[in-house]
Amino acid sequence: MNPSKGKIAKHLALILGIATIAIFGMAYPFLPGGYDRLAFPLSTMVQVFGVVGLALVPGGLLWLAMPRFGFALSVLSTAVGTFVALVLALFATLSIGNAFGILTLAVWVYILVQLIPGLKRLRRAENSEFHPAPVYLVCLPVLILAAQLVLARPMTQASRDRAIANANVFIEDIEQYHTSHGQYPISLQAQNRDYYPDVVGVERYIYVPQGDTYNLSFEQPRFLLDRFGTREWVVYNPLDEHRVFSHTAWLLAPPEVTEPSQGWYAVHDSPHPHWRYFWFD
């Protein structure tokens, strides 16, 4: 095999490996398993890279088309990469906290330090030499974005259906309590939850009594580009009198307000009886 072709094949395999790990991290909150509080923030950061990282693609394409300008384009790509890192740090701060945002920036600073010797070598290199960097710049964001667009709907639906199905035992026990006591529980707040959605990105079920009925709900993780900024709550009510509110203060409305605003902008019937999901912005 031609050494150059062998080198390209090696880097393509590495790109596929990195993309596979990134896509798994992106899909992780939607997979079966116990709740992981870092799963959704890390998934969001991968998805943000797939979108904002597209800014790296033009420089990568120019680098591939005009390798004689490799050094200048590498400096440009490093500057764009710094912008991408700043956006990722912002999302890390918003989704987890200041410490994780600072850690994200620290990782990028470390990467920059490691890149400096490579930039110096690139400046002295022959223009005809193959450099793998632009292939990474082009392929990684595109693969991650494409995976996000393809996986968003089926993975959201599958994880929602799984959490709904796993609520059946909880609902049966609530109904058994109602049969035995003639009313629904006043509260089910306890240290140990005992009923689990078995979806990595779904923390718990929330039980709220409501007159002669009740609401059982959970927050469903969503993909970044699947109605950007939308949060979804999935709610069960045996009498189809679903209630879910975006602000606690609205529940403390004066007595003359008989039906406080709930705050959602869209509601959808689930294929499962008595389950609906509500979208909040």
Whether this prediction's pTM lies above 0.75 is answered by yes
Q: Does position 141 have pLDDT exceeding 50, yes or no?
A: yes
What percent of the chain stands above pLDDT 90? 76
Say if residues 112 and 84 touch (Cβ distance below 8 Å). no
d(CA 163, CA 152): 17
The pairing of strands 206-210 and 213-220 is: antiparallel
How do residues 205-236 score in pLDDT, each as one tens digit?
999 999 899 999 999 999 999 999 999 999 99
What percent of the chain stands above pLDDT 70? 94
- Domain positions in the chain: 3-151, 162-280
At which residue do the structure tokens 């680098």 appear? 63
Closest CA to 42 of 20, 26, 21: 26
pLDDT score for 1: 45
Q: Does position 250 have pLDDT exceeding 90, yes or no?
A: no
Q: Does position 258 have pLDDT exceeding 70, yes or no?
A: no
Q: Span 25-53, mean pLDDT? A: 96
d(CA 131, CA 116): 15
At which residue do the structure tokens 């591939």 appear? 64
Q: Does position 34 have pLDDT exceeding 80, yes or no?
A: yes
How do residues 163-211 score in pLDDT, each as one tens digit?
999 999 999 999 999 999 999 999 999 988 899 999 999 999 999 999 8
Q: Does position 82 have pLDDT exceeding 90, yes or no?
A: yes
Token digits for 212? 């002669």
d(CA 46, CA 68): 32
